[in-house]
Chains A and B, each alone.
Chain A
């Protein structure tokens, strides 16, 4: 077990190194002078020369990469072109809204999707099953921002039940914080719910057809404990896998959701950086989000042994 975790940790580090190489190469293999890109559109030739000097762009690529990577490992993601502040600090200031939104969506999506999936599987072929699966195809197809504007239009503009947009820090009270997260959470969660509900249904159907379930039914286990204790627990591995893979969906969606609902998070930071061509910020956010994705999937892999004692490493 420990040996497996160490091996898995090793491959995680390797993947992150490769991500680092890609992010580094993006800037250096792109057409155009990296110094000019880093300097921004309004830079003078003297400024560009200064940046070229500072980044050591005249050194061979591998040396440049090692220098950049050792900085990243120590938390130095460079400085913003626009404000001159360290990228890590800028990201840190924006982290709370993004983490809040991601966590509420994760909880909301998993609870709703697993419930839907179990209900659909328990009543396979019924109208409820068809409706839920139809909804799941729809959830894949309607983009986050369309769902977002629809929710704002109905619940904020027409019904006036919820605030239109923005973010209130959790320090200012739980309800004001939560109130502004309700609509973004639903919008962001749609595709994720669809994905997890589908897998839950399939995985449950597979388990429900096994002999031990028939035995449990025959000896008179009530249907709720049968579904939840006997079946769902054993259907867990594929569900958890998809929850992990789907985090990529969530991370991409955060960027869009924050723009729709005007939430000042990391996603907005990167979107604002696009129009200002603030490349160090884009690089920093990609590294951060990729690392989050890789780490979550590492945890998912390790969780298999707890979910299914048959899996031994």
Chain B
């Protein structure tokens, strides 16, 4: 099945790209064969996306050469890359939302004439979508489409523009399991039709199921290249992560603690941004329970997190924290009742990007003694308070007076978690706490959450990663369009069943 001696579609030689002092790509050499699905594996920040941005002309490499189909290629802009038949489906879709699907597909294409009402383009696209079974309403506005349909639009767009080498950056991150399965079938089919696919991912199982070859990157360098059939998940994981990280074992607390949170019939009405709202949410959490909320993002998880942490009023229903009815109390009351919140938007909601690390450290405690006395902040005490968080949760920060935006993603997350669990909470709402951080960071977040569980804290754990939820949580429920399914134990369900609920096929 693997075409070992096929033609080389892309060859990258000695590619180096630096951002300041950081070498995002350091002397990369890569060969990609025609008609194969070539996977690029690596943690966040390993340099996969940077390398592909160099290939598509979005970034300019500091040095190195690129050959396409054996010929040297000068790629200085995305336009050049398109000329060589290279198309990229970005992780964050490059679609213009207020425009229609058709307009997005023909955007920038030299095939389209001056006037837009062009029958030839429409027919050619219809022919493409028929051939590859990628059906979509061409006149729908992109903003009204589901994420899977938006991805399909991206793929059709690249094909219409004549892409023979298609790069997909973390394409399954936003898909339900069924949608991902469909995508894999499509990719295999396209590869056997002679197109070249570059598939960027950090999910090992996906690579094993879809790839022909895999190149592993770590810290801007290539650390391994394998045929997928000659390797294993363990092998790849070992190459991807330096050393092995000790497995965090979760203590299984089977006895049920006292109830600390109860949501009864919660409704929230439409807000102006047209988000999915909560309908008839019922949920209760016990001491020492980690309850996972699964679902594709944008189905009401953020609203749920906001309701539980007092950031959003509900229009109907009742929230009980501990023994107290807390419905529509202000956020500070929720904090005082012991609710901590790790928001999904770290720099927007979790931290104030322009303020110093110290100021961010005391954001929740600045009103109380000894940090402030008579409305004046004692910066010495504040500094000590922040230093404790930093030391205890291993935040890498040199100068505490610098703006917090100078910290890296993983350190920002440690900082928020540290601040939120420092005050001995009773309930911890963790919204996508591991999104966008590397595997070592994920393990750290998990162990911090297990520590809280051991202390008897009830954790509401919202994540899009099903494997993570199955691994971490004691109980789980699925959100779909504002509805929350019954809470079950992971042992009582299957990935398939959850997948169906996430896609709305099961209620």
A and B pair up: no
User: Which positions in A face B, CB cutoff 8 Å?
Assistant: none
